[in-house]
Amino acid sequence: MIVELISVGTEILLGNIVNTNAAYLSEQCAALGLSCYFQSVVGDNEERLTLVLKTAMDRADIVILSGGLGPTEDDLTKETAAKVCGRKLVLDEKWKKRIATYFAAKNITPTENNWKQAMVPKNALVLDNLNGTAPGLIIEEKNAKVILLPGPPGELIPLFENSVRPYLETLTNGALYSQTVKICGVGESMVETRVKDLIDAQTNPTLATYAKTGEVHLRVTAFAENVKEAKKLTKPIVKELKARFGVDIYTTEEQVTLEKAVLDLLAANGLTLTCAEACTGGLLASRLVSVPGCSDVFKSCVVPYSNKAKRKLLGVKKSSLQKYGAVSAKVAEEMAKGAVFTSKCDAAVSVTGIAGPDGGSEEKPVGTVFIGCIVKGKLTVKEFHFSGNRQKIRESTVAAALTLLRSGILEYIGKIAFGKE
């Protein structure tokens, strides 16, 4: 079945708020096996909303509108939908009582326009909204079911989960299942080339690639009569991808990030981590700390931005700074060694580079980065050349540092022979 989403609200068109409702509803509908081909955003304007709604009802089986159910003058989603469906608005006694109770509980006297929210399209299904004064509504037309939900996520999400999802489940005949395969250390076009045959041959399940900074995500999606069957369909493709990309796959779980995968790998092997960041300036540590419970593994980080700090905090040799420069393999090595020495951690990552826009040279252009990694005494230092602006270079560096560290751990536990890169 085909679903279409319409978000109503001038504040979205003005960019004052991000349309998270659309993302939530899309994900929910996809999980129900509903195909969503179009989403629209339109302001609180009867003429334009009518146009968008009619178009949606012509091409979709289910149309979900969110927003514009408030008590104020400019909220006209319900009125417009009723008109498009040729329904009168009638008073819903039950909801009128609800509104009265709601305000009584808050010791507020409802204003005249609050009662407007008790008016519903004739013969519409009225869905209970436990968190507001606007009910959810379902208008069942021949060509399409029109579902109206309030805009505030705190009202929309519970309403969807309690009333809309159960309703949609009675309509759908089948379910969708997606499995994500996350790869690090391999470029997008390289990944694309290596799975081109699978993508060309895809029908059900389908395979799609998504490029992230320093990562590529592959999503395998199957449709079947139920989730169990759909899941079964994805298995052979996921197995094939594992065979093709091996250890470059760091997870097959949607919610696991690269930093989490690395922290889990360290924890599973009883290893503690410290880091020393120059050009990334705490961005790596910040990503690690974004993972709840990281403190079991991640112990400390130093950001020795000045040369003096590199010497004082990490014992980098003055002679090395003078002979090789702060951005060099030698200094990356001494930073990593110093970090391990001062922290007594099992593993360390060090980063020194030129993020730009200034500071580049013929010999060491902007984007030149040296990353050092030590796992249980085994040192690796790699040189990288990233492009983009300062922020992009720093993000690419962090992804590369996590990838290098991951390789170091995998080598330590004997999963890979190093130098494969």
- Residues of this chain, 66-95, that bind a second copy according to CB under 8 A: 70-74
Q: Does 97 interact with a second copy (rule: CB under 8 A)?
A: no
Residue among 123 and 387 whose Cβ is closer to a second copy:
387
Question: Please, which residues bridge with residue 373 across strands?
Answer: 349, 380
How far apart CA 28 and CA 36 sit, in angstroms, is 11
Is 163 among the residues that bind a second copy (CB under 8 A)? no
Residue 44's contacts (CB-CB under 8 Å, 6 or more residues apart) are 8, 9, 10, 68, 74, 75, 76, 77
Q: Which of 122, 232, 242, 312 binds a second copy (CB under 8 A)?
A: 312
Which window, 61-69, 230-238, 239-247, 291-299, contacts a second copy (CB under 8 A)?
291-299
Among 80, 163, 179, 280, binds a second copy (CB under 8 A): 280
Interface residue with a second copy, options 123, 190, 318, 377 (CB under 8 A) = 190
CB of 212 to a second copy, least distance (A): 9
Q: Which is nearer to a second copy, 125 or 313 (CB)?
A: 313
- Does residue 40 touch a second copy according to CB under 8 A? yes
Contacts of 298 (CB under 8 A, 6+ apart): 263, 272, 273, 274, 285, 288, 289
Among residue numbers 320 through 349, which ones bind a second copy (CB under 8 A)?
342-343
Cβ within 8 Å of residue 347, ≥6 positions away: 266, 271, 272, 273, 274, 340, 373, 374, 375, 376, 405, 408, 409
Q: At how many degrees (to 10) do helices 329-343 and 307-314 cross?
A: 40
**Orientation of helix 77-84 relative to helix 46-59, angle to 10°:** 50
Q: Is 329 exposed, middle or buried (0-12, 13-18, 19+ CB in 10 A)?
A: middle
Restricting to residues 130-159, which ones interact with a second copy according to CB under 8 A?
Answer: 130-132, 152, 154, 158
Q: Give 400 or 409: the residue with its C-beta nearer to a second copy.
A: 400
Q: How many residues bind a second copy (CB under 8 A)?
A: 115
11 binds a second copy (CB under 8 A): yes
- Residues with Cβ within 8 Å of 191's Cβ and at least 6 positions away in sequence, in order, are 183, 209, 216, 218, 245
Single out the residue of 212, 157, 207 nearest to residue 178, CA to CA.
207
Interface with a second copy, residue 357, by CB under 8 A: yes
| H helix or E strand, kind and range, residue 80 | helix 77-84
The verdict on 201 binding a second copy (CB under 8 A) reads no
Span of 35-43, 245-253, 255-263, 402-410 interacting with a second copy by CB under 8 A: 35-43
Subset of residues 369 to 408 that bind a second copy, contact rule: CB under 8 A:
385-392, 394-395
Q: Among residues 23, 91, 171, 268, which is the contact residue for a second copy, using CB under 8 A?
A: 23
Dig out the tokens for 407 from the structure. Answer: 């390789």
Q: How far is the CB of 73 from a second copy (least distance, A)?
A: 6
